[in-house]
Amino acid sequence: MKSKASNARKENERVVLGGVPEQPGYRAWLTTSRTEVCSASGQPTLAYTWFLQCNNENVTDEQLMDSTFRDGNHDFEGVDFKIAASCTKIAKGLVGMELIRRTEEYAKLGRQMSGRLSFRILCAPFELDEERGLHTDILDLTKIMLKNGDAGLGLFFATWNSAVAGLSEGQTDKTLRSIFYDKIRECHCIAADIGVYDRTKKSDPDYARVHTYAFLRESVRDALDRDLRRKQKKQMDSAYAGQNATIVVPAVVSKPTKAEKRAAAKARDALPAAGAGGQQTLQNVEPALVVKMAVKSKLMCYDFQKGICKRGKDCRFAHDKKINTPPPSPGRGSDDEASKGKAKGKKRRRQ
């Protein structure tokens, strides 16, 4: 049966992996690398399972050299070559030397080093043996510190969750509960939940539910959610109060004349001074100025001369009885333009 190519849907032109990090950033880098490979593949769901084999101890190096997946039903050869190219670019130091050595060994055999095996070589320095890894993970949890009290609870919780997700082995509820409780028991925002936890005795019916790691973890999550809702409500209240409102002035389609610019400058000068926050708000600006900044023309309003203009102050033409010049009629030019037209007509007749 012919293998189905991974580009059943269009692949990205390349796979871009971030630079190899130091030990604290390894887990985040590993997650980002997996996401990058999946997004580059035409079949991201299958590509994720296929790429996870890089960190599976039960999968041999020779199996990683094969780009097919699930008994050859799917082939990720294109993505695999792109992973290999990206790994070669980011490999530095001793890891880079080891990658080059392994690549040359396979080249002597007439084979191209696979991308998945290249990625395994990059991850090798971060992979500790099982006994040391378990010990190191426990130390990682005890080193996570909650700083700045309630203000630093969000950062602490995110760091804690990241460390727990990276544990080499699943820890017991008692171990996680004991360490987590020592970290958060002084937080004021969850004092009520900590009080319930401390007061609950073994004889109480809720003891099995309260004295758990899940109870403490959900208490912190609920406290962070409440804090987020308070911040959102404060932002909405500020918006309703107009503290962040912006005055929008209608745009001028045609290029303004000097007279219109002077009139606009006078209108801007007529605006009240800025509020206490240093910005003009809708509360201290007259509605008439916000709705429209009228710019008057020097031309006399033709309808005003007839006494039929209904536009009043919104009329763009002048309503001054001292001005006797009516606006030019549509389709007609000035006297100079008319005389020029007559002169051109005479020249044509002479020719």
Residue-level pLDDT at 25: 81
User: What is the tens place of the pLDDT at every residue in 75-116?
Assistant: 899 999 999 999 999 999 999 999 999 999 999 999 999 999
pLDDT along the chain (351 residues), means of 10: 52 88 83 91 90 92 90 85 94 92 94 94 77 62 88 91 77 90 93 94 92 94 93 87 57 59 69 49 43 56 84 79 57 50 54 53
- Specify the 3-state DSSP secondary structure of 29: helix
Boundary-marking domain end, from 240, 272, 287: 240
223 and 289 inside one domain: no
Q: How many domains does the chain have?
A: 4
Residue-level pLDDT at 312: 80
Stated pTM of the model: 0.50
Residue-level pLDDT at 315: 82
Count of CB atoms within 10 A of residue 349's CB?
A: 6
Q: How far is CA 329 from CA 171, 301, 326, 332, in A?
A: 89, 11, 9, 6
Residue-level pLDDT at 24: 75
User: CB-side exposure of 16: number of CA atoms within 13 Å?
Assistant: 2
Residue-level pLDDT at 328: 52
Domain that holds residue 108: 4-126
User: What is the tens place of the pLDDT at every residue in 214-266?
Assistant: 999 999 999 999 999 999 998 888 888 876 555 444 544 456 667 767 777 77
306 and 326 inside one domain: yes
50 and 159 inside one domain: no
Residue-level pLDDT at 299: 78
Boundary-marking domain end, from 105, 126, 147: 126
Decide if 95 contacts 125 (C-beta within 8 A): yes
167-172: long-range contacts at Cβ-Cβ below 8 A with a sequence spacing of 24 or more? 167/137, 168/128, 168/130, 168/133, 168/134, 168/137, 169/130, 169/133, 169/134, 169/137, 171/137, 171/138
